[in-house]
Structure 1
């Protein structure tokens, strides 16, 4: 995988009805590095992430993730973690059990995966026995990120990971993302918080600068 950029996007076009959202978008995320896309709501950040995550088919253009089309096979889903879609919580499973399930699904020993440490760092240690629907929106966001970071991956695709987090939570998540990059992972995310993005180690670029739309 390291022979290819983590993400390559060329001349991407997406419209909703007669309204163009992405016009000639081009983006490269080198392997083992991070890129954060900023911009106003409705400018197409989430649409871009959905296309790279293989959750949406573009009208035209080319996308490669580690040299292959996104979603081309099981290798893609072993390598890529995305939080673009809202997570599914399983009825009756606690916070800790959700984390264990993610680890077991990816061949990890839950005892060795560092679940307790991850929950502690993300402020969820006191909620390990709670069920996710009982959590606040910020706590659910922390759990989503904990599950994303616990499982092995080569690329994280995160849509506004700082959303609904307090300043301490943003600082901790930024540190975890910086560690992920330092350990050899790659990161593509959208965010409204440039200081958070910089703390995570990601290069900040604007949605406007990625587009060929002259307006």
Structure 2
């Protein structure tokens, strides 16, 4: 039997709609004489990242902590702070094809952005020109819980004003998709825009 047509679309940001340069962190490592993988491993260490995406610390505090943790490896606090400023300068880029598909779906149903993000999210959305591209934005750092916590899916459905089982969730992280399924929400693993196109078929 065919799946019912979704009454809302809940979409991830990073890895789906927004992308960063593939060499972003390797370039920072090389420019600062650090072993490959150093900056990413420090920045995204769970003990550092999770408090930032659940609102325990601000984006500024998170990045300041990354700079402090890199100071010895960089040779000085000034150099590590400069590294973090360089990393922070980019808000990424938007996949125009994905944005177009979501915009077309939005003509039929609410589209809600559901992202594990820091307190910087609003600034980034404005810089990317997509602050008004959604009917709602669920920022994990404001909710106090991050995907794959089931609270995220319930809160996102509530924000859309649609029952959990009638929302379509899209994410590039398999564990987040599995958690959506466990919450009773139809979900699709995103790898390329064609995955989104197929998932949104009835709405396009």
Q: TM-score, normalised by structure 1?
A: 0.26
